Structure 1
Amino acid sequence: MAPLASFVFPMASGHTNPALPLARRLVNLGWDVRFVSFPAFREAVEDTGALFVDGHAFNDPSTSEFVELHGFDSRLSLVVAMCSAIRLERAAEKLLGYFRETRPELVVYCPHLSAYAHLVARHLGIRSVSLLTLPGPGSMEKIAETCGLSSAEVCSLLAQNPPQLEALACLKTKLELPDLSLNTVPPLHRDHYSQLNLVTTTEVLADDWKEDAALYAAEGKTFAFVGPLIDIPGAKRCAGHSNQKEATEASETLPKRLPKLHRVCSAVDEVFPQEALEEAVAAGRQLVLVSLGTVITGDSGNHGWLARDGSAITGKEMCQSVFRAVFQALGQQTDEGPLLLVAVGPQEDALEGIDVPLNSICRNVLPQVDILRQKPVVFVTHGGQNSFMESMLVGTPLVVCPGFADQPANGAKAQAMQVGLCVDRPDKEEEVASYQTRVAEALQQVLEIPSFRDSAERVAEGLHAAGGVDRAMQLLIGNEQN
């Protein structure tokens, strides 16, 4: 009988995509892999050969109503969703029956948003391994800072919340885990981590966690910095989605067909024209990749398309300013020059009021990893951890336009490492007017100054040495820690 592995991941593509090559490898080695995810990601999960299991059976992926229902300020939605015991308790109760029925030998999970899988595995004596898709265990301190709090203040907030304490007490009793503190004392996510934790960056690039290293070592918790986990060429990936309308549905408010580019239709809902990319590479044209992630282009009430998220502009205004900046700096009205590859996300009005130049291909979704394999001259990105690492892996410099969470810290890190420039989201009204111009200027600088690419290529050497999927698999199925 084939050994069974259960993967448990949230409705967040950045947290799920790095797990897909691990699932694929296990399937190829003869494992029975069950992957708990959400319908928007089903195609990508099934592409690995794993069995898709609908995560709605265990966990409600929404956060806004949950946060406000339990007395938290909506501005703290991100850190509360990642740290509160309330959601963990609800999901653990439902997952417990599933694990008792299936009895997996191995559980691979997201410690940031799916730590309930680890808690249930501990209760049942099942080996679990976490996959950290943020820059190491020190990243939660940075995320707390984006909400204006220290990690100690987050812990204090949770420790004084009655629903949180009630959920924590229930988990201790039901799962027979009396030692749980679940973010009521620092460091954040201490109880979310397992004995073996795979981290998709290198220790050099990780957020600082020196203060907590001795504590984790004393608890026997190992953090293996394996670098980015890249799937096979052509693999399907989880991408952006709209809760209001499927990304593949054509817009009724925009022209359905823009002028043809590269002899292929340029409608954003069409399949990406791989042949146009191949022709551009063969002709020696420069590639410029633009993608601002899946959350800010999505429907999240706190961080998405219409949300300001504490800034002076909405997600829509930010994205459209970046698109205009790229087109302003590099757009041409001929099918020549650099090829601009722009992922606009699922919203119908993504390109509303924007003149799209003829040297661009705009799509709801782009095959980001496959495009990066062709080494674009620059990647204009939101600075999410996966995008940051995937770009560094091929030595492509960055223009980071961060939105929220780990993105501002990654943008600052990219600039400090001289692998790119960061243009922060405007916090004040007086900064809004110059935002588009500042993005265009940063793009020109990164393209014109060779040292950015030189620095990125040096970082790439360290990432390749980390081992990637090969090393992660060696640790995953060769390590007997429980």
Structure 2
Amino acid sequence: MSCLGPVLAMSPVTAPPHVVFMNMAATGHMNPTLPLVAQLRARGCKVSYFVEDTMRGVVEAAGAVWHPFRYASSGHTGIVRYLDEHGIEKYVPSGTPKEEYLHIAGGLVYNAEILLPTLLEDLEAIGPAVILYDPFLAFPQVAAHVLGIPAVSLLTMPGPGVLKKPDELCDKWMSYPWVQGPRKAILDKYDYDVLKNGMPMEFYSTTLNLVTTISELYLPPALGRQQEKFGNCPFQCIGVMADPKLKRIANANIKEGSVQELAMADLEEACFLGRQVIYVSMGTVATDDRTWNEPFGVFGADNGLEHCTGKQFMQHVLRSCFEALDGDDKVLVIVSLGPQADVLDGLPAAPENFVLRQAVPQLEVLLHCSAFVTHCGANSMHEALSLGVPMVVAPIFGDQPLNGDSVAASGAGLCFRNPLDTLSATSLRSALQQLLDPSETNSFRASAKKMSERLAAAGSVKSAAEAVLAQVGRGKASAGGA
């Protein structure tokens, strides 16, 4: 299956429709939605946004009305990503190891069960015409089914294929009693089976799935459980969703206003003086509190990082960068460190040509860059390509290794799979010399420019808005019902 082409324009409606967004408070999941919020508001739509309160500022800046996720049984708000005490008591057999149930794949169906009663109360008061949601979440399609409206997912990765897992692992996750129990409770109460066309962390819409990529980078449902579950779900590529004029999240794990800002004038001066700017960022997941001192486990196994912690990975990359670029006064290196206070412990002092910050405005920095050393999260990859910036990729897990493969296949960069073994000061120095080559024969820069042109032609936020509004009035999809 490939991404669909443009959809038909919106049918006439008597009043501007009300679009509801539902999302997780994660940097890579949130940022691509904000330009779409602004675009829908510009078209006269009402927009409400359900997400954790830490995202309220950017949501409201984009033009939406913020709403919390509420729970009837507690004062908690937000997404319950992991089983709480009640869920453990209700569904987890005694003696089950914690690593079996205390990860995100095990908690999201339970989250749907306990959230839906109050969420439906809030939605009925709002009266939405369509729900736009993150496909990691299990509850939006259930809510849409109950309300009789369409649900459209926004996948901020280059297609479901980047999340392929072994069939035996998918089957194991779906068989957990703390997944099957909430599944049955939701089916009994709302006549909707969340696993009929879905799996943990992959609840794609049977109506429409918007994918923030282009056909050249799109990876369709893989053979096996993905193809069985949602091989018939429609996916439409819409290109990169980024607007530097909008307020964005630099790092969802860092409190806004708590970090030293980057002086953009320093970058502009460096470029004016002929220095090349290199940006280094390993994203936000590796530096999250949960992964910083814990091994990546099964999620990193395919990339040689099963026993590696976020801290070990980050320090390996930083050490390689420090040694590879120390004393090179022809380059200025901007590094986004993340929120962990001990990130530099045990490392040599940063060279004088390095500028270290906890977080930086990524789009603004990329505008001045000659190369990007990245983990290749989907947003980082697409934003760099959209600006014609070639990449050195040190992927961690999830979609990142396949994203890195795509960058290498496009000719716009080099990918270091199994980075603990392949990325070193020597290999990084060699890679950057190739990317920074100022000659007209630099194929990496030329390929990145070609990808930029293809991304620009994809339609981006306008195509996304038209696709969403085309669903208004079409009613619910029933494929997830009993």
Coarse TM-score class (shorter-chain normalised): 0.7 to 0.9
In 2, the alpha carbon distance for the partners of 1:103 and 1:350 equals 47
TM-score, scaled relative to structure 1: 0.80
* 1:182–1:189 CA contact under 8 A, matched in 2: no
Selected match of 1:228 from 240, 263, 279: 240
* 1:168–1:182 CA contact under 8 A, matched in 2: no
State the identity %.
31
- Equivalent residue, structure 2, for 1:299: 289
- Secondary structure (helix, strand or coil) at the match of 1:108 reads strand
- Equivalent residue, structure 1, for 2:138: 115
* 1:197–1:222 CA contact under 8 A, matched in 2: yes
Letter of the 2:393 counterpart: V
How far the C-alpha of 1:229 sits from its partner, in A, is 0.5
Residues 126 and 292 of structure 1: CA distance in aligned 2, closer, same or farther (over 3 Å): same
- Secondary structure (helix, strand or coil) at the match of 1:138 reads helix
Matched, 1:131 2:154: yes
Counterparts of residues 4-403 of structure 1 (less than 5 Å): 4-55=18-69, 59-63=78-82, 70=92, 71=96, 74=99, 80-81=105-106, 85-112=109-136, 114-141=137-164, 144=165, 150=166, 152-177=167-192, 181=196, 183=198, 192-209=204-221, 221-231=233-243, 233-242=244-253, 246=255, 249=258, 269-300=259-290, 304-310=291-297, 311=305, 312-332=307-327, 336-352=329-345, 353-374=347-368, 376-403=369-396
How far the C-alpha of 1:14 sits from its partner, in A, is 0.5
* 2:280–2:335 CA contact under 8 A, matched in 1: yes
Letter of the 1:289 counterpart: Y
* 1:5–1:108 CA contact under 8 A, matched in 2: yes
- Secondary structure (helix, strand or coil) at the match of 1:192 reads coil
Residues 56 and 338 of structure 1: CA distance in aligned 2, closer, same or farther (over 3 Å): farther
Question: Any idea what the Cα deviations from partners look like across 1:362-402, whole Å, max 9, x if unmatched?
Answer: 2111111122233x211111110111111111221111111
- Secondary structure (helix, strand or coil) at the match of 1:321 reads helix
* 2:210–2:464 CA contact under 8 A, matched in 1: yes
- Equivalent residue, structure 1, for 2:432: 443
Equivalent pairs, count: 435
Matched, 1:462 2:454: yes
The root-mean-square deviation of aligned C-alpha atoms, in Å, is 3.1
* 2:239–2:458 CA contact under 8 A, matched in 1: yes
In 2, the alpha carbon distance for the partners of 1:19 and 1:72 equals 37
Deviates more, 1:190-199 or 1:65-74: 65-74
In 1, the alpha carbon distance for the partners of 2:425 and 2:97 equals 34
Letter of the 1:346 counterpart: P
In 2, the alpha carbon distance for the partners of 1:349 and 1:140 equals 31
In 2, the alpha carbon distance for the partners of 1:64 and 1:74 equals 12
In 1, the alpha carbon distance for the partners of 2:100 and 2:240 equals 31
Structure 1 stretches lacking a partner, 5+ long: 145-149, 250-268
- Equivalent residue, structure 1, for 2:463: 471
Letter of the 2:186 counterpart: L
Higher relative contact order (Cα pairs below 8 Å, separated by 6+ residues): 2
- Equivalent residue, structure 1, for 2:300: none
Question: Any idea what the Cα deviations from partners look like across 1:146-179, whole Å, max 9, x if unmatched?
Answer: xxxx1x3234224432232221111112222268
Letter of the 1:447 counterpart: L
Residues 440 and 179 of structure 1: CA distance in aligned 2, closer, same or farther (over 3 Å): closer
In 2, the alpha carbon distance for the partners of 1:195 and 1:62 equals 25
In 2, the alpha carbon distance for the partners of 1:68 and 1:153 equals 24
How far the C-alpha of 1:287 sits from its partner, in A, is 1.6
* 1:3–1:105 CA contact under 8 A, matched in 2: yes
* 2:408–2:415 CA contact under 8 A, matched in 1: yes
* 1:59–1:90 CA contact under 8 A, matched in 2: no
Structure 2 stretches lacking a partner, 5+ long: 1-14, 72-76, 298-304, 476-482
Counterparts of residues 413-428 of structure 1 (less than 5 Å): 413-425=406-418
- Equivalent residue, structure 2, for 1:252: none
TM-score, scaled relative to structure 2: 0.80
In 2, the alpha carbon distance for the partners of 1:115 and 1:341 equals 38
In 1, the alpha carbon distance for the partners of 2:274 and 2:331 equals 9
How far the C-alpha of 1:417 sits from its partner, in A, is 3.0
* 2:109–2:179 CA contact under 8 A, matched in 1: yes
- Equivalent residue, structure 2, for 1:259: none
In 2, the alpha carbon distance for the partners of 1:294 and 1:172 equals 35
* 1:246–1:346 CA contact under 8 A, matched in 2: no
Residues 476 and 208 of structure 1: CA distance in aligned 2, closer, same or farther (over 3 Å): closer
How far the C-alpha of 1:198 sits from its partner, in A, is 0.8
- Equivalent residue, structure 2, for 1:263: none
- Secondary structure (helix, strand or coil) at the match of 1:349 reads coil
